[in-house]
Structure 1
Amino acid sequence: MNTPATANESNIVSINVGGRIFQTTKQTLTLAGTDSPLSKLATESSTRFLDRDPALFSVLLYILRTGNLPARSTSFSVRDLIEESRHYGIEPFLIDSLSNPSQFEAFDLRKSRVLRLNGRDSPSTIAPTVNAGGGLHVAHGSKITSFDWSLRRKSTVLTNFSAVDSLLEISPGVLAAGATDFPGLQIIDLEKGGSVRTALNWEDVATSTVQGVGSSSEFLFASFESSRRNSNSVMVYDLSTLLPVLELDRGSDSSAIPSTKLRWIGSCNLLMVSGSHASPSGVSGHVRFWDVRSRNMVCEINEREDCFADVTVSENLSAVFKVGVSSGEVFYTDLRGLGGGKEGDRWVCLGEERKRSLNERKGVGCKIESYGDHVFCSKGDGIELWSEVITGLVGNARRDVLEERVFRKNSFVAGSGENKVTGLVFGGSRMFVTRKDQQAVEVWQSSSRGVSM
């Protein structure tokens, strides 16, 4: 006597892939989309047989189920996974799993690949792609070379600049590019061979040059300096229309220092702008925090003693980090304490703060960036990794009350004898590194999570 199938049993689908039987649910298969052959299998009642590689199919099925790469994916090449994912119509799922920041494991980073560039110019600046995480745009000389998420397809366009100093992807295939010796911020369309859609200028100074760029989900930020270098400003544009919205951080005398780094802090709805200048008396600079909607400056940190060589902000760690140009040490200040306290007391040294001479320049050229729950700082040819040590409190309770925080340093690539690090950028599950006089970009990934490149 035949018994009727239960609802749970009728939802189970068995698929023969290259002689190996897989079982999954109709819901999992339909996640692939209506155009995928996998979703069509969910509606078929006949024998489901696919003459494909079962090992690769198991990886892709795991991605459909969880959104992540399985540990066994390390034994496969990315080329094979790309081809197989395209056959099943689920390449976007593979892209998400490979570029998902959750796959980024700071303590397990290994150099997985070197991206070679055409020509003799070293990278001047690099920018990650906005949506298909893990892709990259590299400015070298007058050219911009773009790599897709797989890092296997690349294209190069020629710009009007002799060298690009500021670069940012504002939407897929559309870049904002500027230079310190060429007027205007150019909006470049890569899909149209690098043609310039428009050029943005400081409204009353048509010959102003670009010192830095940044963006939020709503706005594009550009720092301009006049050609005579006696005034500067940060312009805010609507990201969708590229029309000017307002002006911030205007300096109108020869001593005003232009901001060269612009970072949006989404959790606080603040724009952080920073800039520094070297003179015979030393290095001085500023870090300012602007409320864009009210046009008010919330806080300003004036840097004089051991001014920053570079500065960054981490929303995950609720802190601003700098590397001192004199000491070469890493410092932090808590975002929640920006409004109070003496200016000199704001910074807390993470390393062994020693008495230093203002004539020292141990931090010159050092770069500092944050990603996830970690802070990365380049020192010569090496990179330091700083992570917070949680003590006494559980979860996010440590963010509720200002207290002394403990950070631990881990170094890698130190003393490798390679050229000095000139740039650090993060995208998806990858860290990208550029070095002095090298016509290439290093790709660093987790050895336990990534696939063979």
Structure 2
Amino acid sequence: MYTPPTTSTRGRVRLNVGGRVFETTAATLAAAGRDTMLGAMVDASWNSGVHDDPAPAEYFIDRDPSCFAVLLDLLRTGDLHVPPGLPEATLYREALYYGLLDRVRSARLGGFDPDRLRLASSVHGRSPGDGVAIRAAPDGGCCVSHGGASGVVRVYNWMLQERRPVYYPSHAPVNDAAYLDASTLLLAARERPGRRDDDGGVSSFSALTGETRHRFRVAHDRQPRSFTATALAFDGGCDVFASCKGRINEYGVAVWDCNTGEQTGFFYEPPGCALGEADRLQWLDGTNTLMVATMFPRTDSSFVSLLDFRDKSVVWSWSDVGTPASLEDKHAVDAVATEDGRSVCLVNQYDDLGFLDLRKNAASSGGVRWRSRSKLATMSGGKTKTKKAACGEETCYPKLAAHGGRLFASTGDAISVFSGPDHVMTSTLRCSNGGAICDFSIGGDRLFALHGEENVFDVWETPPPPII
């Protein structure tokens, strides 16, 4: 915690940065914090050494003066103003030197306002295969999973500079990714036929170096087994969850301790409930339950369940099994629980939004309440064909996310934002010319949208408020 400077350090301070002289107050420099270079310079405990030498009349710092002027203005005003012609990468490098990178990042990204988002940049991937999933990091960076045979995940810092890529052991194809924190990446990989028993599964990695930290294994008869993990989630504590499909009877959802990698439980798949092939897992804090959603077309019908791991019970479930042929267009292709934990939002392949009330029995409440007025905005309409693969034509179905009390839904090359209790569409994000959106993610005050055709992702940010 920052300690205010003593009387002897409250005066003016002169700094010669790269030959350019700056004059400011000790209080301004101290506002940077004691754990920064500038804060330490004027901290009483730092200056009162064994020799009790007085503070110098002028500090000399052999660094870029133009960047220092921007950083000093940030300390004075709290605002970040980067003049034209000053490369942001250079500013970030200098901010890292002074220990001000977190402050610059906070001022640069600002708050997240869905109705004021603007397209800040588009990043083209270098992998030969198309990206299949994108995940936002807590610090404003992201990662992109490429689901081909290489098993590579491209990792980007908040400056959108690529870090060392992460390769899943044995290069197993990656199905899902999640950030436990800004420096720890969790990957779920697909088991490949004919491989050894440690193929596929779940592992955690350093997002900074790509090194493996833990292998999360599923054991049967005390022997670790190969399995396919399709979806990931974690709670507010130390539990990691993954949907699992094994070779013997490891169908269900496994749970591990994220700190040790040790398996602490397994929820076996009950009859009539598809857990092992889930598309989405989501932890609900309010009820201490895990939402498991297995969506069409991965399976012939859609399933949504709430699992209570304390007594290994299914406390709520819904399925569209037995849906009349005339309503087949209501098959759900994605699901997300709203942040208040009261309902699950669904989207079908024809861009309709529907809602399930978690406070009522799904069967007795009549199931999904489809809302035609919540139709998604799209230029192409309906499900979008995006690319051809060896197995035929692939499809980009709509995706959902809940963030900050809003609902977000992608379809075609657009993302719709819904607000309020009636989920009224309040804005639409038209993305770049990279083609249809196959996935998107929100975190670190940014929205990332991954395009299926061109291996490119867009970055959306909220601009800073206008200067009055």
- With the shorter chain as reference, the TM-score category is 0.7 to 0.9
Shift of 1:209: 1.3
Residue of structure 2 in register with 1:291 after alignment: 308
Letter of the 1:378 partner, please give it.
Answer: S
Counting only pairs closer than 5 Å after superposition, residues 252-291 of structure 1 correspond to structure 2 as: 258-278=277-297, 283-291=300-308
Deviations 1:342-385 (A, max 9, x none): 342553526267xxxxxx97897111112223221111111111
Partner of 2:351: 328
Match of 2:52 in 1: none
Partner of 2:116: 108
CA deviations on 1:282-319 (whole Å, 9 max, x unpaired) are 95212112233343333212234513211112326854
Partner of 2:189: 179
* Map of 2:254 onto structure 1: 235
Matched, 1:385 2:417: yes
**Of 137, 141, 152, which residue of structure 2 is paired with 1:129?**
137
| 1:308–1:59 distance in 2 versus 1, CA, 3 Å | farther
Letter paired with 1:14:
R
- Tell whether 2:205 aligns with 1:189: yes
Does the C-alpha gap of structure 1 residues 232 and 13 become closer, same or farther in structure 2, counting only changes over 3 Å? farther
1:445 aligns with 2:461: yes
Tell me how far apart the structure 2 counterparts of residues 207 and 253 of structure 1 sit (CA, whole Å).
24
Distance 1:436 1:199 in 2: 30
2:81 partner letter: R
Q: Which has the higher contact order (CA 8 A, sep 6+)?
A: 1
Q: Which amino acid letter does the alignment assign opposite residue 250 of structure 1?
A: E
Matched, 1:214 2:233: yes
Q: Does the aligned pair in 2 maintain the 1:257–1:285 contact within 8 Å?
A: no
> How far 1:224 sits from its partner (Å)?
0.7
Pairing of 1:332-411 with structure 2 (within 5 A) = 332-333=355-356, 337-338=359-360, 342-345=364-367, 347=369, 349=371, 351=373, 365-388=397-420, 405-411=422-428
What CA distance in whole angstroms lies between the structure 2 residues aligned with 1:377 and 1:121?
25
8 Å contact 2:274–2:303 — kept in the other structure? Answer: no
The CA deviation string for residues 97-150 of structure 1, in whole angstroms up to 9 with x for no partner, is 446xx62222222222222222320112222335xx112222223212211222
Partner of 1:39: 40
Find out whether 1:224 has 2:244 as its counterpart: yes
Contact 2:135 2:177 in 1 (8 A): yes
Q: Is the 8 A contact 1:73 1:449 kept in 2?
A: no
Give distance in 1, aligned partners of 2:166 and 2:368.
Answer: 44
Contiguous gaps of at least 5 residues in structure 2: 48-54, 193-198, 376-381, 385-394
What is the aligned residue count?
411
TM-score normalized by the length of structure 1: 0.76
Cα RMSD for the two superposed structures: 3.8
Counterparts of 1:367 and 1:108, CA distance in 2 = 21
Shift of 1:189: 3.3
Structure 1 residue runs of 5 or longer lacking an equivalent are 1-6, 354-359, 389-403
The aligned counterpart of 1:4 is none
Q: Name the aligned partner's letter for residue 373 of structure 2.
A: G
In structure 2, the residue matched to 1:120 is 128
Compute the displacement of 1:34 (Å). Answer: 4.4
Contact 2:283 2:290 in 1 (8 A): yes
